[in-house]
Amino acid sequence: MNRKMWEHPATQRNVAQLVADGVALLGPATGEQACGEVGLGRMLEVEELYAALVAFLQPKSLAGRRVLLTAGPTFEALDPVRGLTNRSSGKMGFALARACAEAGADVTLVAGPVSLATPIGVRRIDVTSALEMREAVLAQLPTDIFIGVAAVADYRPAAPAAHKIKKGAPTLSLELVANPDILAEVAARPDAPFCVGFAAESQQLAEYAEAKRRIKRLPLVVGNLVQDGLGGETNTVTLFDAAGAHPLPPGDKLEIARAIVRHIAEMSHAHD
């Protein structure tokens, strides 16, 4: 249908009745229509319809739960042009946000600077720096589950330059200060949610991931080697909890995310 057909009062009354009766509606999408109108009324793309149907059929293991996630890198400004960041694409965090929403959770995603579409049914808060990410996370608490997927910069410039730093000197010295540990801060709260950490390592994965879990007192850490997942479409992860290490089969990041969500659902319900 076109924009005027969708906006017609009779159509809106029927839509409202369907929703009240518990019918799930897919679309409409917005955009250019065959008649020349622009607006709501287009059918969703086939890929979007397929994704929505797959999501609808996923077990609702997190129904009634509030989930807060972080994803992507942070960008710590050196001057108005340059900054310190990392190669995190945000794809794993966005896949987890989608998997949590599929599982019936009320999902809020705090995203660093990435170029990814917001998963259906997910509220998104865009931030740039680690300090902004911390502020956004704390503003969304309390929550039932917190998943810290973001690759938060460990350090930031102590005094970012007000103007672009001009080249000329053969060397440049930077004073860096530590950024807050968002995950550790959330996990240490009196009203701490069920916290899940991520450990992306280049070596000694089991040793470093388990140490992170114990030091921050986390029930679960998801670990991977950066060469297996950073920036790509697939990943290979191991889940570390009090019962030991649980390797997951390699797969695309959405498959991995759904497996992680199943583990989180089992653990968080037992935690209650």
Q: What is the set of active-site residues?
A: 35
Cβ-contact 149, 123 below 8 angstroms: no
Task: Give the other-Cβ count within 10 Å of 258's Cβ.
Answer: 21
Report the distance separating Cα 182 and Cα 230, nearest Å.
Answer: 21
- Max CA distance (Å), the chain: 71
3-state secondary structure 110-133: EECCCCCCCCCCEEEEECCCHHHH
* Bond from prior residue into 142 cis (ω within 30 degrees of 0): yes
On the CB side of 241, CA atoms within 13 Å amount to 16
Report the distance separating Cα 251 and Cα 239, nearest Å.
Answer: 14
Where does the chain have alpha helices with state H?
A: 3-7, 9-20, 46-56, 91-102, 130-139, 182-187, 205-215, 226-229, 253-271
